Amino acid sequence: MFLSLVFKEIKQQFKSIIFYLFIGIIVLFYITQFLGDVDTEGVSKPIPPDEYREAYGREPYYGYIEEEDPEDQMNLMYSRLIRDANHGSVLQHGFLMSKIVNLSKGQKEFMLDAADKIIKEGHDISNFEADVSYKEFQIIIEKVDERLGGGTYFSEEYNDQVYRQEKTYDQALKDFETMISKDTLSNAYGRLYADYMGIGAGFFPIFLAAFILTRDKRYRMSELIYSREISSYKYVFAKYIALVISVSLVYLAIVTHATILVSSVVKANGYTVDYLAFYKYTFGWLVPTLLFTISMGFVISIIFGNGIVAIPIQFGLWISSLLPLVGDYGLSKFVLRFNTVGSYDIFKESINDILINRILYTVLAIILVGVAGRILSYRRGRQDGIIKKRFKRKSKEDSRTPSLQS
């Protein structure tokens, strides 16, 4: 019986205009974002430097690699400090955007002082040797960020932009081999796919989810429904599961297309294909985002009694989850980013964090739906709204004209 209800709700979804608009948008997103990135001509194995220079007429670029070594990090950061201080401005990341901030005299001096702490005056810069321990160094740099107002490259959040080196040809080749052998191209592209599609999944479903529970009120069917036997939890969960399934079907169709496409490219280049890769990432990586977004729509709309409120709230959450582009898998991120092909090492490191994050959000989503059910159960027995309004009107009438008529 529960299944019948779910099935009916799914049917209802497939009959609604906004659902098809939603499909259109997700597909558009897919085409412009992911398909644009898939190199359909051939998977690019790094070219040796000489060949590169000959073919493109410029120095080869193999991407960046994270700098892990503490000494090297200090070196990089030191150079950065000096450079920015002399230049007189820093880049500051804000809520939605970043801007270039001009440094005051005091700030410049602070930075140069900090640099001095790292290497005492008189030292030979070409042979970098720090005068402080790594821990002390981190504290110094943090203080610089604070002094500058936060959000600069000197902060924890953004210092990865400083701690990186250009890959050498050998490193690039090594990464490529790893990708082919341990990771497989399918998986590498699978993660990229989950990254792009996950972005959409963190926001657009809210337009479907936020208006489902308020539909009863809009069509004035709430009295009929609320006076019935069905438990509020069953009612809400049926709608939830139905929407999740409906949306998942859309993603399933798209991921099948992606799998076929990428697999044929991979095969054409003679590498092994993992047909399940994309599905793995869709369900493990993407679906928890979906679950969370939809549950937010339910819970916010039932708390506020209307669906529109959910949109800006989710928008705010969404924006804050979109950056940085790779690497942050903390619990505050409901959209997980991995905007690169490969980088297997980063992935392998973070896999535990990723797993915990996804499980957490799945559980959180279910709890939120439960909360929505509880609130509905409470509201169901307190449908005073309309009557209260009548009373306000009536009392106004009474005070105006005493009449013989009732």
Is position 21 an interface residue for other proteins (rule: CB under 8 A)? yes
One symbol per residue from 183 to 212: x for binding other proteins (CB under 8 A), - otherwise; what is it?
Answer: -----------------x--xx--xx-xx-
Is position 307 an interface residue for other proteins (rule: CB under 8 A)? yes
Is position 237 an interface residue for other proteins (rule: CB under 8 A)? no
Residue from 86, 231, 256, 272 binding other proteins (CB under 8 A): 231
Inter-axis angle of helices 134-147 and 105-118, to 10 degrees? Answer: 180
Is position 87 an interface residue for other proteins (rule: CB under 8 A)? no
Residue 164 dihedral angles phi and psi, to the nearest 5°: -150, 155
Is position 1 an interface residue for other proteins (rule: CB under 8 A)? yes
Q: What is the nearest approach in angstroms of other proteins to the Cβ of residue 101? A: 8
Tell me if the bond preceding 49 is cis, omega within 30° of 0. no
Give residue for tokens 């702490």.
117
**Residue 25 or 356 with smaller CB distance to other proteins:** 25
**Residue 185 or 296 with smaller CB distance to other proteins:** 296
Which long-range contacts link 360-366 to residues 24+ away (Cβ below 8 Å)? 360/331, 361/288, 361/289, 361/291, 361/292, 361/334, 362/287, 362/288, 362/291, 362/292, 364/292, 364/295, 365/288, 365/291, 365/292, 365/294, 365/295, 366/291, 366/295
Q: Specify the stretch interacting with other proteins by CB under 8 A; choose among 37-45, 124-132, 361-369, 375-383.
A: 375-383
Q: What is the nearest approach in angstroms of other proteins to the Cβ of residue 323? A: 13
**99, 256, 304, 335, 395 from 339: Cα distances, Å:** 23, 20, 35, 12, 62
Torsion, Cα of 382, 387, 388, 393 (10° steps): 170
Residue from 15, 58, 105, 396 binding other proteins (CB under 8 A): 15
Residue from 229, 396, 399, 400 binding other proteins (CB under 8 A): 229
Closest to 6 measured CA to CA, from 321, 350, 292, 240: 240
Q: What is the nearest approach in angstroms of other proteins to the Cβ of residue 271? A: 29
**Residue 206 or 372 with smaller CB distance to other proteins:** 206
**Residue 122 or 219 with smaller CB distance to other proteins:** 219
Residue 157 dihedral angles phi and psi, to the nearest 5°: -65, -35
Q: What DSSP element (H or E) covers 115?
A: helix 105-118
Is position 154 an interface residue for other proteins (rule: CB under 8 A)? no
Q: Is the dihedral of CA 382, 387, 392, 395 positive or negative?
A: negative
Give the count of alpha carbons within 13 A of 368, CB side only.
21
Is position 228 an interface residue for other proteins (rule: CB under 8 A)? yes
Is position 224 an interface residue for other proteins (rule: CB under 8 A)? yes
Residue from 41, 58, 100, 270 binding other proteins (CB under 8 A): 100
182: DSSP letter: I
Residue from 312, 325, 352, 367 binding other proteins (CB under 8 A): 312
Check residue 274 and give left, alpha or beta (phi > 0: left; psi -120 to 50: alpha): beta
Residue from 5, 91, 112, 273 binding other proteins (CB under 8 A): 5
Is position 308 an interface residue for other proteins (rule: CB under 8 A)? yes
- Amino acid identity of residue 312, one-letter, is P
Q: Where along the sequence are the contacts to other proteins (CB under 8 A)?
A: 1, 4-5, 8, 15-18, 21-22, 25, 28-29, 32-33, 94-97, 99-102, 200, 203-204, 207-208, 210-211, 215, 218-221, 223-231, 235, 307-308, 311-312, 315, 380-384, 387-388, 390-391, 394-395, 404, 406
